[in-house]
Amino acid sequence: MTVEFRVLGPLEVLLDGEPVPVPAGRCRVLLATLLLRPNKFVSVDELVDRLWDGEPPTVDRANKTLHQTVLRLRQALGAANCVRTTAGGYLAEVGRNELDLLRFRELARSGDFASATELWRGAALANVASESLHRDEVPLLEDERLVVLERRIDADLDRGLASELVAELSLLTQQHPLREHFWAQRMSALYRSGRQAEALECYREITALLADELGVDPSPELRQLHLAMLNGEATAQTERSRQVICQLPPDTANFVGRESLFREVAAKLTASDDGVPVVVLSGAPGVGKSAFTIRTAHRLRDRFPDGQLFVRLNGAGAAPRDPAEVLGELLVALGVSITGMPDGLEARTAAFRAQLADRSMLVVLDDAVGPEQVRPLLPGIPGCAVLVSSRQRLVQIEGAHGLRVPPLSREDGFSLLAGVIGESRAATDRDAVGAIVNACGGLPLALRVAGARLAARESLPLRSLARRLSDERRRLDELTTGDLEIRATFGPSYEALPADAAAAFRRLGLLGSTDVASWAVGVLAGGDGERLVERLVEANLLDEVGLDPTGEPRYRMHDLLAVYAAELVRDEDQELVTAAQRDYVEVLLTLADEAAQDWFAADDTPKRPITRSKLLEPAEIERLTESRGKWLLAEMLNIDRAIALCLDHHWVESAENLLHRALVYLDVYLPHERILQVCERVREVALAEGHDLIAWRSHLRLTSQLVTRNVSEEVIAEYARCVDGFEAAGAQAELAVALGALAYYKMLHTGQPQIALAERAVAAARASGEPRTHASALRELGTMLATEGRHVESVRVFDEALVLSRKIGDRNDLAMVLNRIGSSTLASGDLERASAASREALDLISALGDDRGAAYCTVLVSQVDLALGDASAALIGAEKALSIFEALGERRGSIRALAVAAEADLALGMVEKVIDLATTALENYADAGDTAAEERLRAALAEAKRRV
């Protein structure tokens, strides 16, 4: 199935080449608005303004109209639907080849202006009735088209097609009489066609027009062209008044990859926004910044017809170049005589900018040391662009776009290595080539060293070098040949560090190549993390990779730098190294405990107490973890690695404590398979070390992850095993949790309430003395009673749980109890209490940022809305919850949301949609294990078929 969306002309949608009718009116306005910003969020407020083309009568009516329009549009598009719901708005999800606007921009960026202009089929969105759309958006599209059209005509003139262009340019100057570049092109076409008098008449015509309309003279471009024609100098080769300059060094041989980065750089350097485009490329040592910069400049030569200036600024050397000296060199290249050369930095900067004022040139500044070196070398007005490479990010340069040159991808690394050793040799053992590429971390310098070694020894098996590189202890020794040596690239920078920064660099080798915050550097090295990080960044041994979700700066070593650091740390006193690792784990656990203090899964085992580290001040701990969940997200991978570190050292209790505090929040963010692996490993190591209770706690956590995918006999059997294990260990709190889970999921699977199991859970919870566990067990018993229809008893138990939860004060626990109260009272017909309880639960869980919990609460609120007669609100809520469940892979939640959506659609009279939705849901979620949701879907399907 192929889908194509078209906005460069009348709005059209094609599915496998056949038109898909889009209803006129608001549906077309909505689709056009979203397609003009492909794959980007558009807020509800903005869409409402666009659809109403003015002030809507009420907010409620506007939002309902928007929702109905979205539903109509999705139904009309059918299999071609690209409209996706996001928090607070919508977006059009389209591929690069599915939207003509994206193809147009891609062709323009690549220099294929002719193909780009051919995509236009007439006036943009001619069949979309929207005053604001044609006032605010279409003119911008038209301007894009004209710029590309001008460039296409420039290319045609250069190809000698002057005569063929005269008629087209005559029409264009009539349609766009104040667009001077079309007049210049028309004059050139006439002149080159031997029609000099008509060319000169064109100049008189535009001169008079500009004077009458705007009271201005023609642009310098037109005046210089006119003068050249009068002097008989305007030939195809001499029409430009200044000599084209190209100072670029030769391009790199066997250059591979970077296409996506090149397109991004090209788009920013050729943007039509106000100001001079400046792009700063930075990256790790040896990543190929200079090579990519030079190649990019070569590929963009046609975009800057007046030439390319190139200067090496020697920022990484001992003597960075003086910008005044550089300006003198550039001014001479631009034609300024030595005798007329101004003195001083400011005067030369002014002269340089004057020389570039009427030119379209690319200024390439390679290996810049800092902003003070770059600022004097920037042009003053738009027309030119600047491409900078530097070991620094140079964020101080106003308006600069900072882009990182990343290591090569596996595929590109393979291509580079194959280019050095020969495609036929690489094809003999592709697995070995892939292993070499991985060992080099995508670093071009390392790949070229490896390739040079292989090229020098044609008989050396590829697998032999791959095996040698797989050993991190020998890797840097292997990446050496002739005068090329990776270690030599890193060594001098490390050796120049002061002792404390050198220790920090070595200790980071314990963590490998991962993002870290400055506190981690300080804990590992026993010093001021912020200051140590600054020293390492200055030495180009650590890259700043931006801010984490909490706003804290993050830092990362390149893979080979991490290997180098690990090599160095192996020579340290191992008792000191182990102590540093223990300190790091204890601080990480302390921070996780603080961040997770608001997170207690009511159906989870109680947290085991820890001894909090004192290496960080309490105020610093509070600052770092202020945003709670965001901190856990930022440290997600480091927590995962720290658990593995603990298990390697047999620190089982620390591993389980860290897992428990992190997983209560991160289980919706870490890959599901990874969570299972970690839980399994903690369980196995705990068993091996004789920590039976920790092993069963880990097994229960593992089972709780399995049940999110489906409720099966196998999963229920694992819960039963946990019950037996905790009972044998005499762990009452854990036993209560396991019994409650067994009761709940067995009820879901069989449809039969498990009151006896729930009563056992309550008894064990009371015996444990854990208030949260007691509240959780009461909640499950209340659910069982309500399911059996014993609503009076159910309410009494729920009220006991509610009192206990409010006393505890844990919002997550309270939300769970309220959610079950809402479900029970909905079933008994007490809609007033059901509405109050379910909405309070949703408010509480949403404030905590628990996406999964909020989705389940949203499903319940939608069921209550439906029972109260508001099917539209129910449908909105169900669709919102469904999008969250699908993103999380939560199949049990998905089928519940689909059941509500089907019932809401049925209430709204959309019987055909109900049939499609329910049929598909019952097929796709047959193994989800929620009997009640399946029955509701079947009932909705039967009723919809009856109404057809």
Q: Which residue has the tokens 């097609």?
A: 161
Fold of 582-622+637-814: 1.25.40
* 630 closest CA partner among 547, 708, 529, 704: 547
CATH number of 3-138: 1.10.10.10
Give yes or no for a contact between 561 and 477, defined as CB atoms under 8 angstroms apart.
no
Residue 240, pLDDT score: 42
pLDDT digits (tens, 9 = 90+) for 95-123: 989 999 999 988 887 788 899 999 999 99
What DSSP designation does 497 have? S
How many CA within 13 A on the CB side of residue 604? 20
Residue 272, pLDDT score: 61
What DSSP designation does 606 have? P
Helices (H), 313-429: 323-333, 345-356, 371-374, 410-421, 423-427
Strands lying side by side in the sheet with 278-282: 245-246, 307-312, 361-368, 385-390, 278-282, 401-404
Mean per-residue pLDDT, 499-517? 92
For residue 426, the SS3 value is helix
Beta bridge partners of 278: 386
Task: In the chain, list all ranges with CATH 1.10.10.10.
Answer: 3-138, 489-572
Percentages helix, strand, coil for the chain, rounded to the nearest 5? 65, 5, 30
Question: Beta strand 245-246 with 307-312: parallel, antiparallel or unpaired?
Answer: parallel
Please work out, in degrees rounded to the nearest 5, the angle formed at the alpha carbon of residue 418 by the alpha carbons of 412 and 421: 150
Residue 239, pLDDT score: 45
Mean pLDDT lowest for which of 160-169, 669-678, 751-760, 896-905?
669-678
Rg of the chain, C-alpha, whole Å: 34
* SS3 assignment for 51-72: HHCCCCCCHHHHHHHHHHHHHH
User: Which structure tokens are listed for 660?
Assistant: 């428990």
CATH number of 245-404: 3.40.50.300
pLDDT digits (tens, 9 = 90+) for 68-102: 899 999 999 999 999 998 877 899 999 989 999 99
Mean per-residue pLDDT, 304-326? 85
User: Which structure tokens are listed for 218?
Assistant: 């023609």
Mean per-residue pLDDT, 17-45? 92
User: Which structure tokens are listed for 521?
Assistant: 């550097």
User: Which structure tokens are listed for 465?
Assistant: 């070098």
* 686 closest CA partner among 655, 726, 718: 655
For residue 353, the SS3 value is helix
What distance separates the 2 farthest-apart alpha carbons in the chain? 106
Residue 308 pLDDT grade (very low, low, confident, very high; cuts 50, 70, 90)? very high
User: Which structure tokens are listed for 355?
Assistant: 């020389």
CATH number of 172-241: 1.25.40.10
Residue 599, pLDDT score: 65
Residue 679, pLDDT score: 94
Residue 598, pLDDT score: 67
Residue 64, pLDDT score: 82
Q: Which residue has the tokens 């550089």?
A: 326
CA 249 to CA 345: how far, in whole Å? 26
Mean pLDDT lowest for which of 10-19, 253-262, 367-376?
253-262
CA distances from 665 to 547, 597, 600, 887 (A): 21, 11, 9, 16
CA 784 to CA 780: how far, in whole Å? 6
CA 327 to CA 312: how far, in whole Å? 12
Type of residue at 40: K
Mean per-residue pLDDT, 164-168? 93
Measured over the CA atoms of residue 429, residue 435, residue 437 and residue 439, the dihedral's sign is negative
Model confidence at 241: pLDDT above 60? no
What DSSP designation does 440 have? T
Residue 238 pLDDT grade (very low, low, confident, very high; cuts 50, 70, 90)? very low
pTM value is: 0.54
Mean pLDDT lowest for which of 602-606, 642-646, 846-850?
602-606
Model confidence at 402: pLDDT above 70? yes
CA 74 to CA 700: how far, in whole Å? 42
CA 918 to CA 924: how far, in whole Å? 10
Looking at domain 850-947, its CATH architecture is Alpha Horseshoe (1.25)
* 605 closest CA partner among 800, 782, 740, 783: 740
pLDDT digits (tens, 9 = 90+) for 816-870: 889 989 988 998 899 999 999 999 999 998 988 888 889 999 999 999 999 999 9
Residue 601, pLDDT score: 56
Mean per-residue pLDDT, 907-921? 92
Number of helices (H) and strands (E) in the chain: give both, helices first.
46, 16
Mean per-residue pLDDT, 682-689? 95
Helices (H), 689-830: 692-706, 713-729, 732-750, 755-768, 771-787, 791-808, 811-828
Give yes or no for a contact between 306 and 244, defined as CB atoms under 8 angstroms apart.
yes
Model confidence at 250: pLDDT above 60? yes
Model confidence at 310: pLDDT above 90? yes
What DSSP designation does 553 have? E
Question: Beta strand 42-43 with 89-92: parallel, antiparallel or unpaired?
Answer: antiparallel
Residue 398, pLDDT score: 82
Residue 237, pLDDT score: 42
Give yes or no for a contact between 605 and 697, defined as CB atoms under 8 angstroms apart.
yes
Question: Beta strand 484-485 with 480-481: parallel, antiparallel or unpaired?
Answer: antiparallel
* SS3 assignment for 774-785: HHHHHHHHHHHH
Task: In the chain, list all ranges with CATH 1.25.40.10.
Answer: 172-241, 582-622+637-814, 850-947
pLDDT digits (tens, 9 = 90+) for 534-591: 888 877 788 888 888 888 999 988 878 888 899 899 889 999 999 999 999 999 999 9
Type of residue at 276: V
pLDDT digits (tens, 9 = 90+) for 934-946: 999 999 999 999 9
Element (H, E) at 366: strand 361-368
Fold of 489-572: Arc Repressor Mutant, subunit A (1.10.10)
Residue 902, pLDDT score: 94
pLDDT digits (tens, 9 = 90+) for 132-155: 899 888 988 888 888 889 889 988
CA 53 to CA 666: how far, in whole Å? 43
